[in-house]
Structure 1
């Protein structure tokens, strides 16, 4: 019997996936979790074959969860479920060890196929996601940028509308240091200005506005 867990903070989707997978012969849904904290507590007590993991959780960004989860539970295959379909996000989670990427509006057939494919040792991408990967252009970000704690703080404060001077005062750093972080952020996201970097960071779930 294949043991499956699902982590998603939307109750309707969580229940829908549970119903779909529970009806499939040979599948058993042994855990449904609304956030990363409850998921990690559940995984510590139950062996899981496949974990369906929402990319954005209220208490974590799953891009940063995949690698430690794979390290701690190497026998658990992770399929990301998401409303995002950007190449950088897809590639990032695959590089971190996810075995699949599935849009939340994927068909029932694709959901079942995805679970079976990763159990067979394959990488699974739903049809919509595969199109994005196939059409990737050389100008697109290859992965989601890795930000330092301070860069995240500067980005978050800038997103809230604070000026360089206000950010410096709030974070107890010099305006010059803030400007250096702003420059680094623009370079990391490959954008022309910080506003565009903020937009991408929000889409990727790196900051919440």
Structure 2
């Protein structure tokens, strides 16, 4: 079986060296080297094919989650496993959404890493045990359940999602802009979000749009 050409991307050279040493004896891997920036990795991918990238989220020039998209644009067949200290659920989900095949914390065991590499090669998505626990914990919005909205709030939510301003919504519904703004504030509060962008995202997640 041909070995998987593998690159390590991390902003700490010592982590790159450590992973290279750790994985040097793996029968199925051929570690071609390490990169400290996303730019260096993308430049390499332009001319060389890579089967696997072990990628950190924190890089000096681009976030690892964004880099996932760029790697996949350049080479759809390259598998990406995130190796990070970040434990935020939103970062984990973003990485997977952007094309990563798995997410492990840096304190994972070599066995967990081996298992995730094997799963990624099969086309599956794999997480280390700790990451599985983080994902299975419901986030704040899910715990609150679906907010109860009045008929008017539902109308206004749909118009906000359509990108209409309070002024235009007020004209369409024969309300004062002030009333619309009050509804807007109530919606943001009910969904427990900070702004309109988050409101639309939360409403879409709850399948209310």
TM-score (normalised: structure 1): 0.66
Residue of structure 2 in register with 1:67 after alignment:
69
Of 40, 53, 67, which aligns to 1:51? 53
Cα distance between partner residues in 2 of 1:189 and 1:6: 34
Of 68, 79, 82, which aligns to 2:81? 79
Aligned pairs, how many?
A: 148
User: In the TM superposition, what whole-angstrom CA distance separates every residue of 1:54-87 from its partner, at most 9, and x where no partner exists?
Assistant: 1010111122221221122011001111111111
Unaligned runs of 5+ in 2: 143-184, 200-209
Q: Does 2:10 correspond to 1:28?
A: no
Cα distance between partner residues in 2 of 1:137 and 1:186: 15
Instruction: Give the superposition deviation at 1:136.
Output: 2.3
Cα distance between partner residues in 2 of 1:189 and 1:105: 32
CA contact (8 A) 1:53 1:81 kept: yes
Of 11, 14, 26, which aligns to 1:12? 14
Unaligned runs of 5+ in 1: 141-182, 191-209
Residue of structure 2 in register with 1:167 after alignment:
none
Q: Does 2:107 correspond to 1:99?
A: no
Of 37, 40, 45, which aligns to 1:38? 40
Q: Which contiguous aligned blocks of 4+ residues in structure 1 show a shift greater than 3 angstroms?
A: 183-186
Residue of structure 1 in register with 2:203 after alignment:
none
Of 128, 132, 135, which aligns to 1:133? 135
* C-alpha RMSD of matched pairs (Å): 2.0
Between structure 1 and structure 2, the one with the greater Rg is 2
CA contact (8 A) 1:87 1:136 kept: no
Cα distance between partner residues in 2 of 1:42 and 1:71: 14
Instruction: Give the superposition deviation at 1:186.
Output: 3.2
Cα distance between partner residues in 1 of 2:61 and 2:88: 22
What SS does the corresponding residue of 2:94 show, helix, strand or coil? helix
CA contact (8 A) 1:5 1:50 kept: yes
RCO greater where, 1 or 2, for CA within 8 Å and sep 6 or more? 1
CA contact (8 A) 2:45 2:74 kept: no
Q: Does 2:194 correspond to 1:186?
A: yes
